[in-house]
A and B are shown apart, each in its own frame.
Chain A
Amino acid sequence: MKHVVIIVILVVACTFLIHTGLTNIGLLPVEASAQSVEIDRLFGIHIWLVSALFSLIMVVLLYSLIVFRRKKGETGDGAYITGNTTLEVLWTAIPLLAVIVLAYIGGKSLGIIRLIDPSALQVKVISGQWFWRYQYPDYGVTTTNLYLPVGRQVKLEMTSNDVLHSFWVPEFRVKQDLVPGRTTELRITPTLIGDYKVRCAELCGASHAYMEGLVKVVSQGDFDKWISDQQSAAPMDPVLRGQQLSQQLGCINCHSVDGSEKTGPTWLQLYQSEVELSDGSSVVADDNYLKTSIVNSNLQVLKGYPANVMPNFADLLDQTEVESLVAYIKTLK
C-alpha cells in the first residue's frame, strides 16, 4: 500500500510538471488562422494525455528499477506473480474507452476545421517544380504571391502541373497535397495580419527544400487596393497580357521564346509554321492549333516531344486569357 501511495503522488506531480514544461517551451508557431485555434485546442488535449501517460509509466518503471533492484548479497528470484485478470481487463477496457472518446473528439475537431463558408474567397492554386501560382477568378488576377484578406475564409482549389506537392503554411496548421490530374481543396480563415511562407511539404524532387512562397495576410482594405493595383497593372494590350501570363503560369519554363531547346517546343517562329505531329501527320500551327494545344495539350503532340507532360489549362484560363497567349505567341517571329 505504501508503494501505491508514493506512486500516485509522484505520478500526479510529474504530470503537472511535464504539462507545464511542454506548454511553456513554445512547441507551436503562432496561431494565424481560425483552424489553427481549433487544432491547437486538440493539441492541448494530447499534451495532457502525453504528460499523464508518460508520468504513469515512467514513475512506475523508475520506481521499480530503484526499489526492486537486487541488493547486495541477495539471492533467489522475485515474487511469483503470473498476472492479474482484473488488472488486465481494466487496462484493456479503460484505454479502449479512452481511444474511442479521443477519436470522437478528433472527428468533431475535423468537422470544425472543415466548416464551409459559402461566401469564401475563391483562389486557384497551381503548383509545379518548383513554383506556386495563384489565380483569383473573381478578379481576373494571376500572381506568384498569395494575398489573403484577414477574417474571410479562402477556398483554395489546388492542382499540380507535374508531381505531388503539398500546401502548408505552419502558422495556418492545415496541410493538403496537390495532385496532378485532379483538384484538391483547402479552406483557411486567416485571423492574423502578417507575412508567412507556404512551404511545400510533399517531397517533389531535387529543389523541394526551396519550394517556398510568400503568403501575405492583409486587411480587407489593403486587399481591395492590391486587387485593383493588380487589375490596372494587367496590360489591356493582349500581347503584353499574354507575355505576362506566360511568365506567371510558368509556360516559359518549358517553352523558350528564343529558339533554345527546352522540355517543350520553342514558341519562336511557331505561328503559321508547318509542324509534324507524333502520329506522322503535319498541320499548320494556326490560331486554332495553338488554342487547342493550350487547353488540351495531348490532342496534337509534336513529334519528338513527350506526351502527358504539359497540364491542360482548360480549367485555369478563360477565353480572353487563351487569346492573349496566342496573341503573344504570334509576335514571336
Chain B
Amino acid sequence: MRKFFSIGLVRGLIWQMVGTALGIGILTGIRLLIGLPVWKAESAFVFGALLGAIFFLYGVGVLDDWIKVASGKEIPEHIEKSTLGWRRYFGVSLDHKVIGIQYLTLALVLMAVGGTFALIFRSELTETGMQFLTLMEYNTLMSLHGMVMIVGILIGIAAFMNYLVPMLIGARDMAFPRLNAFAFWLAVPAGIILLSSMALGGFDTGWTGYPPLSARAPIGMQMFFLGVSLAGFSTILGSLNIIVTVIRLRAPGMIPFRMPIFIWASIATSIISLTATQLIGLSFQMVMFQRLFGMGFFDPGKGGNPILFQHLFWFYSHPAVYVFVLPGLGLISEMLPVFARKPLFGYKWVAISSIAIALIGFLVWGHHMFASGMAEYLRVPFMYSTLLVAVPTGVKFFSWLGTLWRGKITYETPMLFLLAGIVVFLFGGLTGPPNATVSTDLHLTDTYFIVGHFHDTMFGGYVFPFFAGIYYWFPKMTGRRLNEKLGKLQFWLMAPAFIVLSLVMMKVGMLGMRRRIADYDPALQFVDENQIMTIAAFLIALGVLIFFINVYWSIQKGDVATGNIWNSRSPEWQVPSPMPVHNYKIPFVVVGEPYDYGLPGSVYVKFQEDPLHGTSK
C-alpha cells in the first residue's frame, strides 16, 4: 500500500481531489463572510478546479525543487534513478526520454478517449432521428471529441519533440529539465478538468466555444475553458524549452543547415506555440470572465462584440493546425530518405518551407470567418494570404517525390504509414483551395466538407506520421521491435477506411449536410453515406485496437532489436538501444550532411570511439 502511494501520479490525483474540495470550500466561505448568497456553483467549481490543478502539481512532486530553491535550500544536481522500472513513468522524472514516453502515453490515452467519443456519436448518426443519445449528450460528445483530440495531438507532438530533439542534436537533456517535467505534469490535471465538463452539464458549443452560445452553456463550459487554458500553458512552456534547447545545446558542427529536418519542423511548430497559444487562452478566459464577473466582452447587450472572439480565437487556432501538422510533415521528411535510401531532395527548401508555413500561417485566420459578418473587404486579403500557404506546402510534396525518385524503396510498416500520410495529406491539401476562395467557401463553410478536409489534414499530417514514428522509434525506446504483421494489418485496416470516410464526408458536405448536427433531414437521403462513414470509423478503431495489442505484446515478446535496424545515418541509431540515461556516453561531432544516403564512405556524425562495440564502458 505504501508502495502504491509512493507513485507520483496517485499522490497527485489525491491532492487534486483535496485541492478541488478545498477551493469550493474557500470560495463558499468567502461568500458567506462578505454576505453574498452562499452557494454559487459556477464560481465554486471554477475556483475548485483551478486550486485542484495547483494541488496536483504539488502532490505529484514537480514543484519540490522550486520550493526548496525559493526557501533558500540547496538542491543537488539531479541524478536519474533508472532502477525504478516501469514505476518511474508514473512519477516525476527529469529525463527527457521518460517525459517523452509519459507524453506519448498520455497522448494515446486522450486520443483513445476522444476517438471513443467519435464512435459513440458516429453510431448515433447511422440512422436519422435520435437513437440513444439526447441532443445535449450528442453536442457534448461532439464538442469534447474535438478538444480532447486537439489536446491529445498537442501532447503527442510534445512526446515526439521531447523524446527526439535532445537525442537528434546530441544533447544530454532539454535545456530546462524541471520546466520540462512541470509542463508535462500540468497537462495531466488539464486533461482531467477538460473531461470533468461531462459531469457538470456538458456543453453544446463545439470545440470553438463561440459566444454568445458559450456564455449561456452549462458549467461544463467553464471546465472546458479552464482545461484548455492549462493545456495551452503547458504547450507554451514546452515550446520555449524546445527552442532554447535547439539554440543552445546542439552538437559541435551542427550548423542550422545540418540539423535533422525534424528539428526544423520542431522549431517552426514551437515558434507558433510559443507566440500564438496565448490568444486562445485569452479568448477563452475572456468568456470565463464574462460568465463569472459579468464583463461583457462579447455581449452585444453591453456593447460587446461576438465577432471579436472569433478573431482572437482563430488567430491561434488556425496557426494551431500548422502546429499539429508541421511535426508530422517533419517526421515524413525525416524517415522517407531512410526507406528510399536516398538523400532528402532539396533539404534547404524543405527546411525553409516549414518556417514559411509557420509564418504565413499567422496571416490567414480570417478564412474561418468569411461568413461570420466581419468587415466584408477583409475577405479578399485573407483569400490571397490563405492561398499562399499552398506554395511552401507544394514544395514539401515535390521534395518527397524527388526523394523517392530513383531510390531503392522498401516497405516496412513505418514506410507504409509515411505513404498513407503523404496520400491523405494530399487529399487535405487539394481540398483546401476551395475553402480559400471566398465564394466557394460560402457554400462549403460549416458543412461536412470542412469536417472531411480537416480530418484529412489531421490524419495525413499527424495520425499516420505519428504511427510511422512510433513503429520507427519503438525499438529505440524499448530495445524491441513492434510486430510487423500486426503493424501491416493495422495499416490496411486504417488507411483505406479513413480515405473512404473522408471522401464520403466531403461529398455529403457539398450536397448539403451541415457539420455538428445531431440529426439530419431524411429528405436529404444521406442514410447510406452515413452508414458507410460509421462502418469506416469502426474499421479505423479496430486498427487502433490492433496497435494497442501490438504494443502490449511487443514490449514483452517483440523481436530484440538493439542495433541500427533501419540502417539510418542519424546519431541515435549509431548507439545501442534502448538509449541510456543522458543519451550519448561519448559525445559526437557532426562531420557530414544528415541525409547523404548513396554517397559511399560518408557519415553524418562521428564519435571519438565506436560506441557500438565501445571500449569506454
Sample (25) of A-B pairs whose CB atoms are under 8 Å apart: A27-B507, A35-B439, A50-B430, A54-B426, A58-B423, A68-B404, A69-B408, A79-B407, A82-B344, A83-B343, A83-B346, A83-B347, A91-B394, A95-B391, A95-B394, A96-B391, A99-B390, A103-B384, A106-B387, A164-B306, A168-B514, A175-B443, A200-B514, A203-B204, A203-B213
Instruction: Give every chain A residue within 8 A of B455 (Cβ-Cβ).
Output: none
**In the complex, which residue of chain B has the Cβ closest to the Cβ of A113?**
B439
Q: What 17 additional pairs, Cβ within 8 angstroms, besides A181-B306, A206-B139?
A: A43-B434, A49-B430, A64-B404, A68-B409, A70-B410, A79-B406, A88-B395, A96-B388, A103-B436, A106-B438, A106-B440, A109-B437, A173-B442, A175-B442, A179-B300, A181-B301, A208-B204
In the complex, per-residue mask of B513-527: 1 if CB is within 8 Å of any chain A CB, else 0 = 011111111010000
Bound complex: CA A79 to CA B383 (Å): 41
B614 to chain A, nearest CB (A): 26
Interface residues in A42-90 by Cβ distance below 8 A to B read: 42-43, 46, 49-50, 53-54, 57-58, 60-61, 64-65, 68-70, 74, 76-84, 87-88
Bound complex: CA A205 to CA B517 (Å): 10
In the complex, per-residue mask of B395-415: 1 if CB is within 8 Å of any chain A CB, else 0 = 101101110111111110000
Specify which of A46, A82, A87, A177 is in contact with B373 (CB 8 Å cutoff). Answer: A177
Task: Report which residue of A95, A176, A307 has the largest number of chain B beta carbons within 10 angstroms of its beta carbon.
Answer: A95
Bound complex: CA A147 to CA B301 (Å): 31
Known: A78-B407, A177-B373. A105 touches B349 (CB 8 A): no
Interface residues in B411-448 by Cβ distance below 8 A to A read: 411, 419, 422-423, 426, 430-431, 433-434, 436-440, 442-443, 445-447
Is B511 positioned at the interface, with any CB of A under 8 Å from its CB? yes
Instruction: Give every chain B residue within 8 A of A210 (Cβ-Cβ).
Output: 519
Bound complex: CA A185 to CA B65 (Å): 59
Bound complex: CA A84 to CA B395 (Å): 12
Instruction: Give every chain A residue within 8 A of B407 (Cβ-Cβ).
Output: 64, 68, 78-79
Is A39 positioned at the interface, with any CB of B under 8 Å from its CB? yes
B435 to chain A, nearest CB (A): 10
- Segment touching A, from B94-102, B168-176, B178-186, B595-603: B595-603
Instruction: Give every chain B residue within 8 A of A60 (Cβ-Cβ).
Output: 401, 405
Bound complex: CA A25 to CA B510 (Å): 12
Instruction: Give every chain A residue within 8 A of B437 (Cβ-Cβ).
Output: 42, 46, 102-103, 105-106, 109-110
Is A276 positioned at the interface, with any CB of B under 8 Å from its CB? no
Q: Are A206 and B135 in contact (CB under 8 A)?
A: yes
Instruction: Give every chain B residue within 8 A of A27 (Cβ-Cβ).
Output: 507, 510-511
**In the complex, which residue of chain A has the Cβ closest to the Cβ of B405?**
A64
Known: A46-B440, A78-B597, A106-B438. A68 touches B394 (CB 8 A): no
Bound complex: CA A182 to CA B373 (Å): 9
Specify which of A53, A77, A95, A103 is in contact with B342 (CB 8 Å cutoff). Answer: A77
Is A202 positioned at the interface, with any CB of B under 8 Å from its CB? yes
B433 to chain A, nearest CB (A): 6
Task: Report which residue of A42, A50, A80 has the largest number of chain B beta carbons within 10 angstroms of its beta carbon.
Answer: A80
Bound complex: CA A142 to CA B172 (Å): 73
Is B379 positioned at the interface, with any CB of A under 8 Å from its CB? yes
**In the complex, which residue of chain A has the Cβ closest to the Cβ of B214?**
A163
B323 to chain A, nearest CB (A): 23
Instruction: Give every chain B residue within 8 A of A309 (Cβ-Cβ).
Output: 301
Q: Are B380 and A110 in contact (CB under 8 A)?
A: yes
Task: Report which residue of B135, B296, B344, B387 has the largest number of chain A beta carbons within 10 angstroms of its beta carbon.
Answer: B387
In the complex, per-residue mask of A183-197: 1 if CB is within 8 Å of any chain B CB, else 0 = 010000000000001
Bound complex: CA A28 to CA B388 (Å): 27
- Give the contact-size bracket for chain A: 35 or more
Is A107 positioned at the interface, with any CB of B under 8 Å from its CB? yes
Bound complex: CA A199 to CA B516 (Å): 12
Bound complex: CA A162 to CA B214 (Å): 11
Is B205 positioned at the interface, with any CB of A under 8 Å from its CB? yes
Bound complex: CA A268 to CA B507 (Å): 51
Is B371 positioned at the interface, with any CB of A under 8 Å from its CB? yes
Known: A83-B402, A180-B300. A199 touches B512 (CB 8 A): yes
Instruction: Give every chain A residue within 8 A of B208 (Cβ-Cβ).
Output: 203
Could you list which residues of chain A lie within 8 angstroms of chain B, going by C-beta atoms?
A: 25-29, 35, 38-39, 42-43, 46, 49-50, 53-54, 57-58, 60-61, 64-65, 68-70, 74, 76-84, 87-88, 91-92, 95-96, 99-100, 102-103, 105-107, 109-110, 112-114, 162-164, 166, 168, 170, 173-182, 184, 197, 199-210, 212, 298, 307-309
Specify which of B204, B380, B439, B445 is in contact with A206 (CB 8 Å cutoff). Answer: B204
Is B216 positioned at the interface, with any CB of A under 8 Å from its CB? yes
Instruction: Give every chain A residue within 8 A of B519 (Cβ-Cβ).
Output: 209-210
Instruction: Give every chain B residue within 8 A of A178 (Cβ-Cβ).
Output: 373
Is B58 positioned at the interface, with any CB of A under 8 Å from its CB? no
Instruction: Give every chain B residue within 8 A of A203 (Cβ-Cβ).
Output: 139, 204-206, 208, 210, 213, 515-516
Instruction: Give every chain A residue within 8 A of B401 (Cβ-Cβ).
Output: 57, 60-61, 64
Known: A28-B510, A210-B519. A53 touches B443 (CB 8 A): no
**In the complex, which residue of chain B has the Cβ closest to the Cβ of A163?**
B213
Instruction: Give every chain A residue within 8 A of B445 (Cβ-Cβ).
Output: 175, 201
In the complex, per-residue mask of B198-225: 1 if CB is within 8 Å of any chain A CB, else 0 = 0000001110101011001000000000
Instruction: Give every chain A residue within 8 A of B423 (Cβ-Cβ).
Output: 58, 61
Bound complex: CA A212 to CA B347 (Å): 52
Instruction: Give every chain A residue within 8 A of B518 (Cβ-Cβ).
Output: 206, 208-209
Q: Are B404 and A102 in contact (CB under 8 A)?
A: no
Instruction: Give every chain B residue within 8 A of A64 (Cβ-Cβ).
Output: 401, 404-407, 409
In the complex, per-residue mask of B340-357: 1 if CB is within 8 Å of any chain A CB, else 0 = 111111111100000000
A95 to chain B, nearest CB (A): 5
Q: Are B439 and A39 in contact (CB under 8 A)?
A: yes
Bound complex: CA A197 to CA B376 (Å): 26
Q: Are A99 and B387 in contact (CB under 8 A)?
A: yes
Instruction: Give every chain B residue within 8 A of A199 (Cβ-Cβ).
Output: 512, 514, 521
